[in-house]
Structures are given as structure tokens and as C-alpha cells.
């Protein structure tokens, strides 16, 4: 709890400093020891063999460290939580507080299709300018400890107009995070 409170104080302090100085979001991110965009790949210490709900029979249910790549380079990374009820929540390293959500269905044994949505902001991170949709097709490995797939992101303005030329496509690789 103390660590969470200290982290919250640090983030609020950085945000207050940045706002009072008129700093844009990327400056805020840098001032808090974080780059504006993913600097990955991030090396995570994965616990040893453990157990995770849903990790049998090719289930995607559980918590994952997910790496998105485009053109062979890391685009961003996230922690992605897939729920048994077909909901999915993701916290990405793109910007402080970056959170999005989705819904998924099983399309074949070990394979899912995800529909995912989130908000887009201007470079300051303060003004909402639109939203994105994402489709993922992911296949869980035989041991249910990784999954691989593809993503296709489309961006829209607040009137729902597709922003042609701003689509992003690439691949996804995820590693299950388990209870040590």
C-alpha cells in the first residue's frame, strides 16, 4: 500500500509540476523518468513455474506481458488482462494512464478474435481528438504460456470519420504472467 501511495504522489507531483510549467505530455513523461513512447523491449523478470487461472487447454484467460511490433521494431508494450466472460483490459506503456478495453470470442481451439477500443489525444495529452479500433487474431501456444497474432488499428476523429493513412498493422507476441 505504501508503495502505491508513494507512486501516486510521484505521478501527481510530476503532473502538477508539468502543468504549472506548461510542459507538454512528452516532457511530463521524460521528467518522470519515462519516454513518450515505448522504449522497449522491456525486460521483465518472469516468475518461475506457477499457476494461472485458465492456463489449460489453450485458454487465453489470464494476465500477459504483450509486445506489439511493426516493421520488426517494438511499437509498444502492455499488460493485458483477458477475462473468462469475454472482456479484456489493457494498460499500455504509450502514455501515463494509457488504458483501453475490448471484447473477444473464441474462433477455433486456442484462437481468439479481439475487438478493442481506446481514446486518442493530441500531442499534449490533454485534448481528446478521436478514438481507435483494433482487431486482433491471436493463437495460444500448446503449453498456454505464450500467444502470437496480428493486430490492425484504425483511427477515427470524434465525428467517426476514418483517418485514412493513419492505420497501423503488425504482430503481437505475449508471455503469460503467473503467480510465483
List, for residues 120-163, the tens digit of each pLDDT value: 998 888 899 999 999 999 999 999 999 999 999 999 999 999 99
Give the pLDDT score at 58: 81
pLDDT in tens, 83-92: 999 999 999 9
- For 119, the grid coordinates are 481514446
* pLDDT tops 50 at residue 51: no
| Predicted pLDDT of residue 59 | 94
Residue 17's pLDDT is 31
Q: Tens digit of pLDDT for each residue in 24-38?
A: 333 333 323 333 444
Say what the pLDDT of residue 124 is. Answer: 86
Judged against a pLDDT cut of 70, whether residue 118 lies above it is answered with: yes
Query: In sequence order, what are the beta bridge partners of 148?
Result: 139, 173
Q: Which residues contact 121 (CB under 8 A, 6 or more apart)?
A: 25, 95, 127, 128, 129
Length of the chain: 180
Q: How many CB atoms lie within 10 A of CB 163?
A: 14
End-to-end Cα distance, the chain: 20
Sorting pLDDT into bands at 50, 70 and 90, what band is 98?
confident
pLDDT score of 56: 55
- Whether the predicted pLDDT of 101 surpasses 80: yes
Q: State residue 160's pLDDT score.
A: 97
Chain-wide mean pLDDT for the chain?
Answer: 77
Say how far apart CA 161 and CA 155 lie, in whole Å: 8
Q: Which pLDDT score, from 0 to 100, does residue 38 have?
A: 43
Q: Name the band, by pLDDT with cuts 50, 70 and 90, for residue 43.
A: low
| pLDDT at residue 7, rounded to an integer | 34
Identify the pLDDT of residue 24. 38
Among residues 102, 110, 164, 126, which one has the least CA distance to residue 24?
Answer: 126
Amino acid at each position: 500500500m505504501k508503495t502505491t501511495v508513494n507512486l501516486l504522489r510521484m505521478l501527481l507531483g510530476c503532473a502538477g509540476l508539468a502543468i504549472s510549467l506548461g510542459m507538454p505530455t512528452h516532457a511530463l513523461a521524460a521528467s518522470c523518468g519515462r519516454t513518450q513512447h515505448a522504449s522497449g523491449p522491456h525486460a521483465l523478470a518472469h516468475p518461475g513455474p506457477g499457476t494461472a487461472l485458465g492456463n489449460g487447454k489453450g485458454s487465453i484467460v489470464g494476465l500477459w506481458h504483450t509486445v506489439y511490433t511493426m516493421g520488426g521494431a517494438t511499437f509498444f508494450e502492455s499488460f493485458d488482462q483477458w477475462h473468462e466472460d469475454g472482456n479484456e483490459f489493457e494498460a499500455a506503456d504509450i502514455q501515463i494512464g494509457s488504458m483501453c478495453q475490448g471484447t473477444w470470442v473464441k474462433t477455433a481451439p486456442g484462437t481468439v478474435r479481439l475487438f478493442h477500443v481506446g481514446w486518442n489525444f493530441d500531442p499534449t495529452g490533454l485534448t481528446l481528438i478521436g478514438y481507435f479500433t483494433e482487431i486482433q487474431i491471436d493463437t495460444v501456444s500448446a503449453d498456454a504460456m505464450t500467444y502470437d497474432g496480428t493486430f490492425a488499428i484504425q483511427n477515427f476523429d470524434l465525428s467517426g470519420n476514418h483517418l485514412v493513412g493513419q492505420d497501423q498493422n503488425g504482430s503481437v507476441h505475449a508471455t503469460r504472467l503467473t503467480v510465483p
